[in-house]
A and B are shown apart, each in its own frame.
Chain A
Amino acid sequence: MSTPLGLRRAVLWRARRAGASPAYHALTVIPVLLLVGLFTLFPLGYAAITSTRRVLLTLPGSTPFIGLRNYAQVLHDGTTHVAVTNTLLFAALTVPSVIVVGFLVALLLHQPIRGFGLLRALVLLPWSIPLVSAGIIWRLLLHGDFGALNGLLYQLGVVHSYVPWLSSPRLAMQAVALAHVWREFPLPAILILAGLQVIPREIMEAATAEGAGAWARFWHILLPWLKGPLLIILVYETMISVSVFDLVYVLTGGGPGSATTLFSWHTYTSTFTFLNLGHGAALSFIMAGALVAFIALTLRLIRVEARSA
């Protein structure tokens, strides 16, 4: 009778022996391949086919192949142009803001002050709240008739009448951007804080002793050390900004007018409101293509930076 130790050895020996065979390799990889195929490749392929057919749910049973006509149609659509402009504006507003706020919060939390340990945990709260819940909270805060923010500003005498934050095209975009920054800044803050903590203290102390000011220390020490995490944050936050949907869905529904119609919202309405799955799939591929190009460009940049370093 084998002892537990003997049994373990036997299993390991068998695994090692089996591991040498290509059949074993294939057997262990197949389940993962099946999952990836089922949940990634199949939907992707299906969407690619859908994007080349006229698939209108109101015309069931008729899905003729139309080549790239869906792509041409959505690219000529005025709403797509508005959505692209709005999305670029939204990304330009939010990505730098998220990084700057995250950086400032990280610098604050890096200070050796008592009680900041708890604060480091609390700072993650906005990130842990589901986006839809965050959207509802912000809607209640910002509503032009009964929003808490208006109530506060009015009582403080900052405004003389309630501000329609979500009814004015300019303010609505800024309001969605504000909610997005609030939701997104914790992750960069924590990543940058982690980066700050690995900078050797001696370097900072030596620089201070040499008479380097705060700006010089930031520019010549902190920033070069944090370049890697910052580029990753830039890629991630750009992806999130470009594909943001939930906040628009809850806060503005793409309005007022088309002021907050972002690309993802346009894709959603094309698919589920207008029931045009062909257009929806084409828009999804355009967005995915743009994001892949952006990521490839940034990764190339990171590689060049790494080589030159």
Chain B
Amino acid sequence: MQPSIRPGPWTRRDFLKLAGTYAACGGLGGLGALARPAEAQPSPVHLNFMVWSYGIETIQDNIKSFQQRNPAITVSLQDTSWFNYHDAMATKFATGDAPDVAYSSDHWLREWVAADWIAPLDRYAPELAGAQGEWAPYARQGMTLGGHLYGLPYYADLIIFMYNAKTLKRAGFDHPPATWEELAAQAKTIKDKGLSEYPIDIPLKKDDPWTIEIFYSMVYSRGGHMFDNADAPVFNAPGGKAVLALDWLRDALRNKILDPAVLESAEPDVVKTMGAGQHVFTVLAKYNLAELNAGQHAQKGNFRMALMPGDSHSTVGFVRFYALTKAAVTRHHTEAAARFLQYFGGKTDGRYLVPQRWALEKGLGFAQLPLYDDPQIKAAINAWGSVALERQQAKLAAVKEGLTPWWGTWDVYAREQIGNVIVGNVSSQQAIKNMAAKWSELK
């Protein structure tokens, strides 16, 4: 028979013994605490982080790693589509629902600073500004205003020209087009040979913020400019390259070498149709080359980049960045937000952990130049692209000109004008005049 495990009834002696033991432990603990110097326990902080919807699982995983390293900080993530990110953020800021940390872009830097929505890092978290020397100049420029730094790079990339090398070879060409005229000629041949009904596809949807960066690239690559150093428009100067770029788009559509659906096609649509082999040439942000060559596409592995067609082969280099909001400063979350920014955009244990991860897993470009020396990254880029060509194109890249507080408004208007030219509602000259007039009005 097993002994009973039921305890006997409690006596007063048992109770006093137990109470004495607890008291002794507590007392010793208390003495111990007195003997040790007081350890500062950071008070818990909760940060709100707002992003556009891309790589959400990766972001969540990065947040998890950050929280493990910083147990006193919790982070909640909110996302919205890239297409309405600006408007969603404007609503959040205007209604007092601003996050602590948010993605931003060189598109909106002037506007957000003018609206007093984001805070200069060199003032509120000066330790974050120390790594600037390692960033690509165009990226640093895209995050700096009035001598103040407003972000740490999320990614920095280039608008590049891509083509389907297999189809190009089948059409009898041994090199990609070097000028826009050559591109039109090659496209015509490809169309005539029945290899693609519309060989060129470029995302020019009105509500896609990429549209303006692609248009800038088409102007830059011809050796043109949009604005001068004083932010005065030069795209409307006689013989300007912007008119040529618009004429080229309109003619390409008329000659049926440009997909007639360009005005309803955003970046993901073009990646899909290029990957399916519907089109041969496109202009997109560089990271899409990784997706086209490594993702699940029928034409996977056939895509190459080439220097932007045109006289100068120049293009737009852009930066998307992590910004510290003024709301975080008001809520006294600056220190926690700075730690977060450091982990996501800066170095942790001497390494750019998060930027490296984006580059390896998604092919995102980076502003942190030392990453180009990372053998792992070199190998990853060469698997779907070309480090050498990327570096060559990067040297020819320039930031978007005319970035002023009213540029964001002008950008939306300019996109509408580009669309109006393509559908034949207005002439290229008229559209350029309208764009210049709008600039003067906004100024």
CA distance A58 to B419 in the complex (A): 27
Residues of B within 8 A of A261 (CB): 416
A97 at the binding interface (Cβ < 8 Å): no
Residues of B within 8 A of A145 (CB): 201, 259, 261, 265, 269, 272-273, 278
Whether A256 lies near B278 (C-beta < 8 A) is: no
CA distance A149 to B197 in the complex (A): 19
Chain B at the A interface: SS class: helix
CA distance A168 to B94 in the complex (A): 36
Contact partner of A255 (CB less than 8 A), chosen from B94, B201, B205, B409, is B205
Closest A residue to B278 using CB positions: A145
If A269-B412, A274-B412 touch, whether A255 touches B419 (CB-CB below 8 Å) is yes
Residues of B within 8 A of A268 (CB): 87
Tally of A-B residue pairs with Cβ under 8 A?
112
Report the minimal beta-carbon distance from A1 to chain B, rounded to whole angstroms.
46
Interface size classification for chain A: 20 to 34
CA distance A252 to B423 in the complex (A): 14
Residues of B within 8 A of A60 (CB): 115-116
Whether A166 lies near B264 (C-beta < 8 A) is: yes
If A57-B115, A253-B206 touch, whether A167 touches B262 (CB-CB below 8 Å) is yes
Whether A272 lies near B425 (C-beta < 8 A) is: no
CA distance A144 to B262 in the complex (A): 9
Question: In B407-426, which residues have CB < 8 Å from any A CB?
Answer: 408-409, 412, 416-417, 419-420, 422-423, 425
Question: In B83-140, which residues have CB < 8 Å from any A CB?
Answer: 83, 86-87, 90-91, 93-94, 111, 114-116
Report the minimal beta-carbon distance from A46 to chain B, rounded to whole angstroms.
12
Interface size on B, residues (CB 8 A): 40
Contact partner of B264 (CB less than 8 A), chosen from A57, A161, A256, A258, is A256
Closest A residue to B412 using CB positions: A273
B267 at the binding interface (Cβ < 8 Å): no
Whether A164 lies near B114 (C-beta < 8 A) is: no
Given contacts A257-B425, A259-B425, 15 further A-B contacts (CB under 8 A): A57-B90, A58-B114, A144-B261, A145-B261, A169-B425, A255-B263, A255-B419, A256-B263, A258-B419, A258-B425, A272-B87, A272-B91, A273-B409, A274-B409, A275-B111
Give me 12 A-to-B residue pairs in the complex whose CB atoms sit less than 8 angstroms apart, sorted by A's number.
Answer: A144-B260, A144-B264, A145-B201, A145-B261, A146-B272, A146-B276, A169-B425, A254-B207, A256-B263, A272-B90, A273-B412, A275-B111
Residue numbers of A with Cβ under 8 A of B are: 57-61, 143-146, 161-162, 164-169, 172, 252-259, 261, 268-269, 272-275, 277
Residue numbers of B with Cβ under 8 A of A are: 83, 86-87, 90-91, 93-94, 111, 114-116, 197, 201, 205-207, 259-265, 269, 272-273, 276, 278, 405-406, 408-409, 412, 416-417, 419-420, 422-423, 425
